[in-house]
């Protein structure tokens, strides 16, 4: 019999501990290789450094394609993917593979080569937003208790936090828009902001003259298009739970800052090199969700982007996920949605 005592596996424990920090139940994660609900804090799989065998139940997204999927030509959305067998809810479908780009390269490549296949690895921002939102749900009374309990230790750390604050102020802020996609909320008391913020002109005007804006004008990270002098961002979908990707700014110092002052999200680009995952189309009523999975590294900047069935899917049905782009967010770009769902928003962008 296969042992599924999750508490005895260090990797599995990472998944459970992470899920706990965002208020999820302790049954989060794989159940006999199926993922019934997304785990925004990430899934940590066993890997070659573990003592377990390749048959371990905590190895799912690292295995090659198990289901029969077919790439087919849709009527009006280019190529798409459909399942050739019935797919049970929670089944692993495939990962999203491509070339790993830095934010700056992705912006340039997106504008020059097309931006339909960019997936943002914004795991850090998503988790930080969830944690911040989660703590905001705590009643003031509880916060007061926490504050009192922490006062002593805070005194000791005051010098450290002062200098962190200074570092934070010095850190150049990247407020670029990042579309994301929507996934169902996990169970538990998680309330996080799922709406996406638009890139509004007012906001941008205020930032004019900032070091970041100057750098962009000089051809640093982005290209300015001539018609409206807007910095045009390529469209891209974020690789984590839908809440506007790294548009989010934490009140606290981000973990990303530990990796360097200018460190921004890495982007997976499947335009030139990729796998079947690149053909998954958008639907306003999707049957697939995305999950960040850590396989070969626990570095939070480099999760694998994996797709799982959101519901039982009949053989022959197209597999789709919700890109959840923010309509109107990319100046000068309109993309109509042809998903055909009863609740279709009509536009992707
Ligand atoms: C990641 S690609 C998906 C695969 C693409 N259909 C192909 O042929 O390569 C994303 C692009 O597919 C098209 N697309 C996906 N879902 C769509 C939808 N619901 N309505 C219209 N176009 C869609 C859009 O052109 C979008 O930029």
What is the number of the ligand 1 atom nearest to the C-alpha of 283? 19
Residue 339 · residue 195 · CB < 8 Å: no
pLDDT at 4 over 60: yes
Q: Ligand 1 pocket check: which of 73, 235, 282 to mutate, most ligand atoms within 8 Å of Cβ?
A: 282
- What is the Å distance from ligand 1's center to 284 Cα? 13
Q: How confident is the model at residue 349 (pLDDT cuts 50, 70, 90)?
A: confident
* Residue bearing the bigger pLDDT, 262 or 156: 262
- CA–CA separation, 255 vs 125, rounded Å? 9
Could you tell me the domains of the chain?
A: 6-136+169-321 (2.170.270.10)
- What pLDDT does residue 72 have? 97
Cβ atoms of 320 and 307 within 8 Å: the answer is no
The atom of ligand 1 lying closest to the CA of 337 is 20
Atom nearest to 237 CA in ligand 1: 1
pLDDT band of residue 150 (cuts 50, 70, 90) is low
Q: Counting Cβ atoms within 10 Å, is residue 301 exposed (0-12), middle (13-18) or buried (19+)?
A: middle
pLDDT tens readout for residues 14-45:
999 999 998 898 889 999 999 999 999 999 99
| Residue 256 pLDDT grade (very low, low, confident, very high; cuts 50, 70, 90) | confident
Q: Provide long-range contacts, Cβ within 8 A and 24+ apart, for 159-166.
A: 164/253, 165/253
Q: Which two tokens stand for residue 57?
A: 């139940």
What's the mean pLDDT in 133-149?
57
Confidence of residue 143 (pLDDT cuts 50, 70, 90): low
Q: In the predicted model, what is the mean pLDDT of residues 90-117? A: 84
Question: Which pLDDT value is given to residue 141?
Answer: 59
């Amino acid at each position: 019999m296969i042992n599924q005592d999750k508490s005895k596996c260090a990797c599995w424990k990472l998944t459970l501990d992470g899920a706990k920090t965002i208020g999820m139940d302790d049954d989060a994660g794989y159940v006999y290789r199926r993922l019934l609900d997304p785990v925004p804090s990430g899934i940590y799989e066993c890997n070659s450094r573990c003592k377990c065998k390749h048959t371990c139940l905590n190895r799912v997204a690292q295995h090659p394609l198990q289901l029969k999927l077919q790439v087919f030509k849709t009527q009006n959305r280019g190529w798409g993917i459909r399942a050739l067998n019935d797919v049970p809810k929670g089944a692993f479908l495939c990962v999203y593979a491509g070339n790993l780009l830095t934010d700056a390269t992705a912006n340039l490549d997106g504008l020059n080569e097309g931006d339909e296949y960019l997936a943002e690895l914004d795991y850090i921002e998503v988790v930080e937003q969830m944690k911040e939102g989660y703590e905001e749900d705590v009643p003031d009374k509880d916060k007061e208790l926490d504050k009192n309990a922490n006062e002593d230790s805070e005194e000791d750390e005051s010098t450290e936090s002062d200098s962190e604050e200074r570092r934070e102020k010095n850190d150049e802020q990247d407020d670029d828009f990042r579309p994301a996609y929507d996934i169902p909320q996990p169970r538990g008391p998680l309330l996080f902001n799922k709406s996406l913020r638009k890139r509004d002109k007012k906001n941008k005007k205020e930032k004019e003259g900032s070091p970041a804006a100057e750098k962009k004008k000089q051809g640093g990270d982005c290209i300015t298009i001539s018609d409206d002098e807007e910095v045009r961002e390529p469209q891209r979908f974020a690789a984590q739970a839908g809440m506007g990707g790294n548009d989010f700014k934490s009140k606290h110092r981000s973990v990303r800052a530990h990796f360097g002052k200018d460190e921004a999200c890495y982007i997976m680009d499947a335009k030139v090199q990729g796998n079947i995952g690149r053909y998954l189309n958008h639907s306003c009523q999707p049957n697939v969700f995305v999950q960040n999975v850590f396989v070969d590294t626990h570095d939070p900047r480099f999760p694998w982007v994996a797709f799982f069935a959101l519901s039982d899917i009949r053989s022959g049905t197209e597999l789709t996920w919700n890109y959840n782009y923010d309509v109107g967010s990319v100046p000068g770009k309109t993309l109509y949605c042809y998903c055909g769902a009863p609740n279709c928003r009509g536009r992707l962008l």
